[in-house]
Amino acid sequence: MADSWATFGRDLHLDLTGPGGLRAALMRALREAVRSGRLAPGTRLPSSRSLAADLGIARNTVADAYAELVAEGWLSARQGSGTRVAWGHLPDGVRGRALPGPAPVARRASGPAPVARRAPGPVHGTGRPRFDLTPGTPDVSAFPRTAWLAAARRALTAAPSEAFGYGTPAGRPELRAVLADYLARARGVRADPDRIVICTGFMQALALLGRTLDAGPLATEAYGLDFHRGVLQRAGHRTVPLTVDEHGARIDELTARDGVADVAAALLTPAHQFPTGVPLHPDRRAEVVNWARATGGYVLEDDYDGEFRYDRQPVGALQGLDPDHVVYLGTASKSLAPALRLAWMVLPDRLVDPLLAVKRTGEWQSGQLEQLTLAEFISSGGYDRHLRGMRLRYRRRRDQLVAALAERAPHVHVSGIAAGLHAVLELPPGTERSIVEAARWQGLALEGLSAFRDPAAPPVPRDALVVAYGTPPDHSFSGVLDALVRALPPGE
């Protein structure tokens, strides 16, 4: 655990592919991050120890790469200040305009100016469940109250007077600037603040996109959330399910099926398919981007828990492959708390004005002060520290779940990657419904995989449980695991 990449420093997404050894690949990736603007001048880099742990390489490799880039002038290093991006390098296309610097975010010049993912289903049996294992909610007891309050005080003190007005549809410029930096650094997103729109949650973002996109069917994954399909359908779109297998959504079905050739967009969860827990295969990532380019369609990338990968550095956002055809959607609901009602979209240029025109027609705006607080929380490093702590907490719980099953129910297999806030437990054929009911009698509210299958999708003979391990409090988690194991069928 102590050597896990999830333990140290600030998040920094780097792709160490290409010719040469690891040191050459790291230097090439850092140069490209600086050149493209993903790492702005003055940005402090992780320590060599932290980055080495993140990337799974030797510390000396990182230290040598840093030293050589300092010598080349890409980075600067001072005693007590760490290693930073040198101020002499500006990315292509931004010369002549100011880049975000280290000044407090609430003092930057201002520019022009509801619903949880899934509520627990009805509970049968006797009385209310003691513990809720249905997916959709993080461990809200771990919300960083002290750090958030300190950020709120700093943001409120520095807030300009106009921040207390009604706000603009795009959201506070301070938050959009900070998010552009953070998403580039941590998720590989190619973002400009002018292409970011702040929303009151993922559902509002999806509804706005549904009303902005051209009429026509939209593809969704065959396993997903019914109210995501519902919001698109209410916007006038027919939804078409894409089969999900061990490699994620079947992208070939976008063109192979009758009646799908005119699909306007595809809603996907590439980093961690919800709820099956598999990532989209690299070949399919390239395939869906090529489909969007060829047809003029869009990929709607739901990165709902992209920061929570426990066995390795997360795969970068799909949006980084083609910002002109991928809409990136993120939210604070999993990383912090649903109550904040803060989400964001990174839009292709040609969608910005049409979507803002829709949002001006009466959509609710996110609270100005919450936006300023989040901007301060991210820029001060509090967000990175909180995410690191939550990664360790969620990983510990997932490890406990896997260990309990291996010891006491070895016939139940955990599928999907080590990521997110839920795990999928594969069950013997024909047992899903009875085990869900047995769990309810044990005081657990949980759902089977079939509850997330699109009714329009072909039936799949697969029985499984979707178990969210983020919500129960730490002191009761061992009891939750005991109850879960009791509900499982005995092994042969």
Q: 275: which residues sit within 8 A by CB, 6+ positions away?
A: 135, 223, 224, 422, 424, 449, 452, 466
Residue 492 has what pLDDT? 60
Residue 216 to residues 209, 210, 232, 265, 267: CA-CA distances in angstroms?
13, 10, 11, 9, 14
Q: Which amino acid is at 275?
A: P
The per-residue pLDDT string of the chain (492 residues; one tens digit each, 9 = 90 and over) reads: 444 444 445 677 787 877 778 888 888 888 888 887 788 888 888 888 888 888 888 888 888 888 878 866 788 887 767 888 887 544 444 433 333 333 333 333 333 333 333 333 333 444 567 888 999 889 998 999 999 999 999 999 999 999 999 889 999 999 999 999 999 999 999 989 999 999 999 999 999 999 999 888 999 999 999 999 999 999 999 999 999 999 999 999 998 655 445 899 999 999 999 999 999 999 999 999 999 999 999 999 999 988 899 888 778 899 999 999 999 999 999 999 999 999 999 999 999 999 999 999 988 888 999 999 999 999 999 999 999 999 999 999 999 999 999 999 999 999 999 999 999 999 999 999 999 999 999 999 999 999 999 999 988 889 999 999 988 888 889 999 999 999 998 866
Tokens of 217: 């069917």
The domains of the chain, with CATH numbers, are 5-85 (1.10.10.10), 153-380 (3.40.640.10), 384-487 (3.90.1150.10)
Residue 97 has what pLDDT? 35
Residue 144 has what pLDDT? 95
Residue 80 has what pLDDT? 67
Residue 313 has what pLDDT? 79
Residue 122 has what pLDDT? 38
Residue 314 has what pLDDT? 79
Q: Are 417 and 278 in contact (CB under 8 A)?
A: yes
Residue 123 has what pLDDT? 39
Q: What is the largest CA-CA distance in the chain?
A: 70
Q: 296: which residues sit within 8 A by CB, 6+ positions away?
A: none
Residue 261 has what pLDDT? 56
